[in-house]
């Protein structure tokens, strides 16, 4: 079952820490969003495999935007 990881804050994708196909554990940092001059890590809510990134570094995102899909 796929899990969609959403942005919890509006900002810019500063750095993507994982790649498609990577296996992740719960709380692994998937990417970092820069907002209000702060770096906010986006963590995996569960273990799994990175199936898809729906954003790229430098993209602007709104709260609720799907960032990553885990399988």
Domain residue ranges of the chain, discontinuous segments joined by +: 3-70
Q: Whole-model pTM?
A: 0.94
Domain 3-70 sits in CATH at: 2.40.50.100
pLDDT at 65: 98
Q: Are strands 66-70 and 3-6 parallel, antiparallel or unpaired?
A: antiparallel
Residue reference for tokens 């919890």: 8
- Position 1 scores a pLDDT of 85
- Sheet of strand 29-35, all strands in order from the earlier edge strand to the far edge: 38-43, 29-35, 11-16, 60-61
Provide the 3-class DSSP secondary structure of residue 46.
coil
Q: Which residues of the chain have pLDDT under 50?
A: none
Q: What pairs with residue 60 in β-bridges?
A: 12
């Amino acid at each position: 079952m796929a899990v969609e990881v959403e942005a919890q804050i509006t900002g810019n994708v500063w750095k993507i820490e994982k790649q498609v196909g990577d296996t992740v554990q719960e709380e692994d940092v998937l990417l970092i969003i820069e907002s209000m001059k702060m770096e906010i890590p986006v963590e995996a809510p569960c273990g799994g495999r990175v199936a898809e990134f729906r954003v790229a570094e430098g993209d602007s995102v709104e709260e609720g935007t799907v960032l990553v899909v885990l399988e």
